Amino acid sequence: MIRMIILEMEETLVEVRASAARTIADQKEMHRHTVKLDRLQADWGEKAQLALSKDREDLARAALVEKKKAGDMAEQLKAEIAVLDDALRAYEDDIAKLQHRLREARSRQTAIAARLESAENRVKLRTLMSTERTDEALARFDQLERRVDYAEGRADALQIAEGKPPTLADEIAALAGSDAIDDELEAMKKALGKADDSKGE
């Protein structure tokens, strides 16, 4: 619906611009005719003066008649040009208003499309989160984690059973543990020695 309205507005804008272009072309052609008519008036005026200077009043009168005809035609064309000026101003106003409405319609179309896409994505997301498929997928992840834990445990057990040499980290940890045992044993010996001394006394 919105696309159809925008398309109709675009077509109308093209038609109005085409009409304005034709009006401008007509106006330019009329301007050229008025220039020719002005020259024709001047020419007939010169001819009338020439005829009058030769005492040919009849020819001078005829020349002035032709000059008046050219003048009347020029005035008529100028009046039509003024009408076309008004029409062009009206076209300019219509084009400006139509362009503004077209920009507004396109902007609203973009906003509505964005809102629609957002709403559809939210529906998809909520549908996905509320379905049993999501719960099944999470349960499968738990099963996979348990299988990985089991596999890692078996690998550790096999390593112990095979009696592989300890790693550097294992040896250092063993040394630390041995030192702690030695310290505790020494403390026990000292305590025991003190106990023996007290018995001897």
Q: What is the pLDDT of residues 89-141, one digit of tens each?
A: 898 898 899 889 888 888 888 888 888 888 888 888 777 666 666 666 667 76
Cβ neighbors of 109 (< 8 A, separation 6 or more) are 2, 3, 6
pLDDT for 170 equals: 66
Helix (H, G, I), strand (E, B) or coil at 142: helix
Pair 158, 71 in one domain: no
Report the pLDDT value the prediction gives residue 133, as an integer from 0 to 100. Answer: 64
- Percentage of residues in the chain having pLDDT higher than 70: 74
pLDDT tens sequence across 49-85? 999 898 899 999 999 999 999 999 999 999 999 999 9
CA distances from 159 to 21, 25, 34, 145, 177 (A): 91, 96, 110, 21, 21
Same domain, 27 and 74: yes
> What's the average model confidence in pLDDT over 161-167?
60
Range of the domain at 193: 139-200
Residue 175 falls within a domain, yes or no?
yes
Task: Round to whole Å and give the CA distance between 94 and 16.
Answer: 8
What's the first-to-final CA gap in the chain, in angstroms? 112
pLDDT in tens, 11-54: 888 988 898 999 999 999 999 999 999 999 999 999 999 998 98
- The verdict on pTM exceeding 0.85 is no
The verdict on 124 and 38 lying in the same domain is: yes
Residues 154 and 115 in one domain: no
Whether 110 is covered by a domain: the verdict is: yes
Residues found in the chain: 201
Contact 81, 28 (CB under 8 A): no
98 or 146, greater pLDDT: 98
For residue 165, the surrounding DSSP H or E stretch is none
The answer to the question of residue 86 being in a domain is yes
- For residues 111 and 191, membership in a common domain is answered with no
Which region holds residue 55: left if phi is over 0, alpha if psi is between -120 and 50, else beta? Answer: left
Domain count of the chain? 2
